Amino acid sequence: MAPDKYKNPPQAPPTFTGTKESIVNDAQALCDTTRSLLDNLVANVPSEKASFASVLAPIAEDEDQSQLSSRILGFYQYVSANEDLRNASTEAEKIMDEFSIESNMREDVFKLVDAAFQTQKSKEPNLDPESLRLLEKERKGYIRNGLGLPQGPKRDRFKEIKMRLSQIAIQFQKNLNEENEGLWFTKEELDGVTDDVIDSLEKGTGENEGKVKLNFKYPVLFPTLKFAKNPEVRKKVFIANENKINQNGPLFKETILLRDEGARLLGYPNHAAFRIEDKMAKDPAVVNSFLADLRTRLAPGGVKEISHLLELKEKDEKSRGLKPDGNYYLWDHRFYDRMMVEQEYNIDEVKIAEYFPLQSTVQGMLHIFEELFGLVFVELDAGERKRLSPTGKAEDIAWHEDVILFSVWDDSSEGDGFVGYLYLDLHPRQGKYGHAANFNLRPGFLEKDGTRKYPATALVCNFSQPTEKKPSLLKHDEVVTLFHELGHGIHDLTGRTKYSRFHGTSTVRDFVEAPSQMLENWCWTPSQLKALSNHYQTGEKIPDELIEKQISTEHVNDALFNLRQLHFGIFDMAVHSPATHEELEKLDASALYNDLRTQIAGIKGPEALGEPSTWGNGQATFGHLIGGYDAGYYGYLSSKVYSTDMFYTVFKNDPMNGKEGRRYRHTVLERGGSQDEMTTLEQFLGRKPSSDAFYKDLGLTALTSTA
């Protein structure tokens, strides 16, 4: 039972009572309210009277209030079990996105914002730093939305491009969420795949009698590629997964063409230059240099790792009477990477997973965050949910019966009371977002009267369903994934900004992953792995011997892992920084995606068997590049530089140092995007960031001391 002081949150959880009609109507109503506000400002505030107080403050207040419901309206499409609600949510997002484009291209509003900006420089020099940042970003946002262009055909075309890009992004993600393809196999063909996975699959009837349908959701796809002994089955599964949403291929091509055209209309040489301008890197040349340097350093390690894995493969094939062909294929990698770890490090990942049942692992992780950051997580049972629900119905404050809900508080030493709400939606279902991500449902901000609105945030993951025989058991890489996404959730919960726009994870994309990546290090710390563990049958802690073995694998085949990330990052930069638009028009994105993967990672695809390089459309499944990481995927690697620097500098010697944990919470996490992220980083480190720890961690020698 939670202490009484944690039983009365000052703010009720959000509700999820939307209908297919209300979701669309509510989205339209939000747009109408904002449109009315902007019309009133234009009608009643003359340019000479424009100031932050008269123009920006009302806009920010409207944005804050709108965010309390707009994110939830768009969230149903990712998680609802009801197809009508998912479709309504998609429509609502389309309405809100198109209105956002319309309002962000209003010349009359831009003139007021620009006048307020000029007033600030001459008459309001004492504006607080976060408000000044809001003003500067708002003004720059209008310019980046085409209002630096003269009225006429160019500006009209830019608006058309923005509208079409919004439509494509929504359709692209909808195709990803709704994907339900698969392949039928006999159990014999799936020899090696664990019974847990096979038992979870759809059973065939009629012409598929005696077979099971292998879908492409992560809890099925990855174990199959790791354990299926038949290389032809692995190949078939790998290629089918790359082609599961080919209808997204033309959408991807149209997207990169429109982005390039839009950037050139604004006077940028390409989309990458446009996107990176306001990131930490500032310039595509900095990004390309970083990626090229890392590729050069990692390449020899990749060659060495493939050579070793190929030896293992050939030995395995000979032992099973198969004839080696001397090639190491994409569909080989998860299988032989797993086999190498098992044989050479004597690790059985299925056995280790027995110590990490999902429910107790989550509790263990939350306990770590309690100690480190001074938080308290209180799980809300049906009774508490009913009591706190604004409608009086427990089921109305979650979108599905599987969802777990916590109220989050400061511990007594912090003394600040309530923090927010944390939702966990951890298992796959049809129509649900297929990866692992954190979604902000409601941002935190300060109301006009000085009271605080508190955030609500959701982890949406796809870990295996429990069965009658076993709970959901997490393999170590899934433990890392869960910790990473919880890191985003904590960043979201602990945000303490004045405006919703800067709350929590609302930072630049080449920094946003750093806080979560830093927390992954706790999954490679012996004391924390021990604390997280709890055998699903006996309750015993994981033996030290198994911990040592697991930790010894942290950097196994690390070069290949990072070369894979480089493939994504270099492909992203390539399609977003062509020399000419005509060059992009001629680009075969599938061939580039597949060729770059072979060149960078050195692992062969079907091309080695004489098939064309357009055999797969991996970019059609790459939601990141449509959903905000365009010309920004490098951020996963550059953030790693910052996260490793922070961990080695502050936490390596004492990961559970609560004093430093709280300093990190207040110095980094609370700030969100309310100040320049490099300033935040330097304030925490006490110096400029260094890449030394990053390269040292990879076993490489650093050539430069700054990131």
Please, which residues bridge with residue 173 across strands? none
Taking the CA atoms of 316, 606, 600 and 299 in sequence, report the sign of the dihedral they define. positive
Is-contact 369 483, C-beta < 8 A? no
CA distances from 614 to 246, 249, 564, 589 (A): 12, 11, 19, 9
For residues 596 and 473, the answer to whether their CB atoms sit within 8 Å is no
Q: SS3 of 406, please?
A: strand
Cα-Cα-Cα-Cα torsion 662, 666, 668, 670, nearest 10 degrees, comes to 130
**660 flagged as catalytic:** no
Contact at 8 Å (CB) between 311 and 291? Answer: no
How far apart are the two ends of the chain, measured CA to CA in Å? 47
Q: Considering 189, 354, 478, 485, which one is annotated as catalytic? A: 485
Which segments of 517-649 are extended strands (E)? Answer: none
What H or E segment, with its residue span, contains residue 494? helix 476-494
Q: What is the dihedral of CA 486, 489, 490, 493, to 10 degrees?
A: -160
Residue 25 identity (one-letter amino acid): N
| 8 A C-beta contact, residue 105 and residue 145 | yes
* Closest to 30 (Cα-Cα) out of 92, 106, 90, 101: 92
Beta pairing, strands 452-453 & 456-460: unpaired
Q: Please report how the helices 635-646 and 558-575 are oriented relative to each other, as an axis angle in degrees rounded to 10.
A: 130
The phi and psi torsions of 688 (rounded to 5 degrees) equal -70, 145
Q: Which two tokens stand for residue 664?
A: 């990190």
> Which active-site residues does the annotation give?
485
